[in-house]
Chains A and B, each alone.
Chain A
């Protein structure tokens, strides 16, 4: 960046800070005088003059699926060439009001990248050699389905690893095929690592597929952002939170790093990585001991309050301060603000999912929301299930019961990680680290044939060197992706998938809009690439499962929409289908737990041999739990940063995004770096008990001296996942702890480029 801009910005903002506005807001909550004001910007963008299009342009309304925010967009096309000119936010979208993040704005480059896969490929050289032959779809599907059948017959259905990536609207169709094929070893890098711990918490606490993940930000007085940084990875929520702040809501952020969200917070709780449980228990102690609870809600709608009350008695703020590094008074203030706000809403992120007590710590935050009366309340966390269309997330849809019991029990991790592998799981699926170990060792049985849709496994899985080794042991690997990824390079067959701009989709997700089912419409076709749903249907036909599937993806969307009375085409004309959120829905339907109450004490967790009430345990690796290891590895790594330009390992093919964050950074405190002789920008090596990776140092005062933060998703030697250790996993669910393990860093004597 031009130095003149930097100098100007520094001079502009100066060095004096006036925190009186923020402090007044916090005080008004504490003394009960807080009120919300009108958002002067509400609907700002929509109040425009009539918009006109140039004669040569046409517009296709759609939905960006760069991430699960799924923001409504307008895709502008040249009428003459048929090419996409640009992608913009939709000013008429009730959810986004026209906003769109960098990933959506640069999406044209996803479509027209010269690196896109255009045809199915068959390996002709050695594995990984990069020699390919273009083949027809018929041949690619025939070969792959043939191998799946062959290996199923040879080694049993458990001998197949059928994996996928982040949810993109086709995921449960893939699961449906896998389950109908009776293959128990299904899964994804992220399931025990992202979102599912939150969903499992909801399953245990509220019962059934009811999720408290709808945030009533427009009516909230307090946003508690716990382990989440929407500004870089959940754009739609970043907009919502800033709107809430504009109305006068306060923001509390829990993050080891002074993230974009923490920087905007009225209270920032800088915890040590992976000590969230101590903080949550400290919150519960304060709220209960100071009687900041909703007694009526607790009495009428919860189960196990007395047990929780007794349990958290020992978890004082002073105790929590010792573990988390956050001063006790600050914890007290934050807990009081959250509990005293007329309505408060907690938004949790992958940071809670990716630590050593994932489900349990999520439970602790739900218990906090429940006993303060913030569940189902206007301005709080609203519990939602289906929105009227057919839910792909039900066990009926995925035919999870179809797999015979004796085969289910062969699923890797079945007994050890019941919350992930058994029926309570959002998708009953295998424990991934254990599955890769099985591929490597052949124990307890051989897995020789794998298929991976929409996942760059070599980069996305933790302890990545092991994945590389395991993949080299496979007899057959089919990969489906948009680009030739490091994982695709190891494959026998590669399917070219279409991007979101080249496909239709029906999106009904609480991660997106609070109250709309959204319709994504196809705007382009690139080469012979196909919608994953159509590829899956093609495979399913060849596996003899035709009767369970649809003619093609469009008929599938008709099916999903059937209860609404619209076909896909009709719904697309409507653009979006409205289903308002319902406050206090439990008053009518109760909770779907065995007690019919919201379970503060979870009987279901107990049934699965998990803690019925969240309990503090130290990190697997820490100064406290493994002092000898800490001598060799004196820093705490949180391998976690999602830069705003990228989603996971994606988007590096898009020059306008790569330009924003051109290198893999390791964020490090300047004092720590100085002691280690690491200059800002210098190349460094990161080492842990699992392996090593490289990065470029980026100084930040926003981390404690003993903490470093890696950025995820970079391939090869820069893949920080290579340093994430296996061996110990979260209770019941098997989460790998990626945010809070020990490492050391050192400068690399190499020319910096």
Chain B
């Protein structure tokens, strides 16, 4: 295993749903307010089998998939994996065709406007911030401390004895969500 792999562990139990990550991200990447942005927080209210109500907030961002559909779909070969195993879009090569936007199963490619020719953007776990010694902006600002960027060993420590799910570099964890990722695994397996 390449020890340069970067992970972002997202602890769903700690997300307050406050949206600081969304504003932090748009500011960092200079995205206008009307942009769909690189990160969203989905609120899910549901009752369990005992009738008890739950409300969870799920930060949704590029999963940096192990087998990225966006990379496959890009006709300009603008999308590649870097040495951290993060999926990156080369802005020079992007032709703004929107194929990656359509291909991404998670809706995590952002086209600033629907107008053709607009280049695709997505999360790169704040490469430029990390180069300058800063944490990814979502991680730094999160009021719940739900994000933790780390390498393999720390990631393993953070998911130990907890429910977890990962398709790539993003690792969701929870102590409460007993089904975490189960339905996605079934989905990925073609069910």
Please list the residues of chain A having a beta carbon within 8 angstroms of any beta carbon in chain B: 1-6, 8-19, 21-22, 41, 44-45, 48-54, 86-89, 91, 98-102, 105-106, 108, 231-232, 235, 238-239, 242-243, 245-246, 258, 260, 262-264, 644-645, 655-660, 700-702
Contacts and interface: CB of A to CB of B under 8 A. Distances in A.
B141 interface: yes
Contacts of A41: 145, 148
Among A12, A16, A22, A106, max chain B CB count under 10 A is at A12
Nearest to B16: A231
B20 A101 contact: yes
Interface residues of B, number: 66
A657 B144 CA distance: 19
A54 B133 CA distance: 12
Contact of A258 (B55, B60, B141): B55
Nearest to A10: B44
Interface string B27-62: 110001110100010101111100011111110100
B47 A701 contact: yes
B23 A14 contact: no
B65 to A, nearest CB: 12
Among A49, A101, A245, max chain B CB count under 10 A is at A101
B184 interface: yes
A593 B179 CA distance: 55
Interface stretch (B81-89, B90-98, B99-107, B113-121): B99-107
Contact of A105 (B20, B46, B52, B181): B20
Nearest to A235: B143
Among B16, B28, B174, max chain A CB count under 10 A is at B16
Given A44-B145, A53-B132, A54-B132, A242 B176 contact: no
A242 B45 contact: no
Contacts of A15: 46, 48, 179
B16 A22 contact: no
Given A8-B107, A12-B180, A231 B143 contact: yes
B18 A8 contact: no
B19 A660 contact: yes
A48 B137 CA distance: 13
A655 B33 contact: yes
B129 to A, nearest CB: 9
A6 B139 CA distance: 21
The 3 closest A-B pairs by CB, nearest first: A14-B179, A4-B107, A655-B33
A334 B17 CA distance: 25
A563 to B, nearest CB: 34
Contact of B42 (A5, A14, A19, A245): A5
A352 to B, nearest CB: 21
A232 to B, nearest CB: 7
B95 to A, nearest CB: 22
Nearest to A239: B143
B178 A258 contact: no
Nearest to B60: A5
A18 B163 contact: yes
Nearest to A655: B33
23 contacts: A2-B36, A4-B104, A4-B105, A4-B106, A9-B58, A13-B174, A13-B179, A14-B182, A17-B178, A21-B175, A41-B145, A41-B148, A44-B145, A88-B24, A88-B137, A99-B142, A101-B141, A101-B143, A102-B22, A235-B18, A238-B18, A657-B23, A660-B22
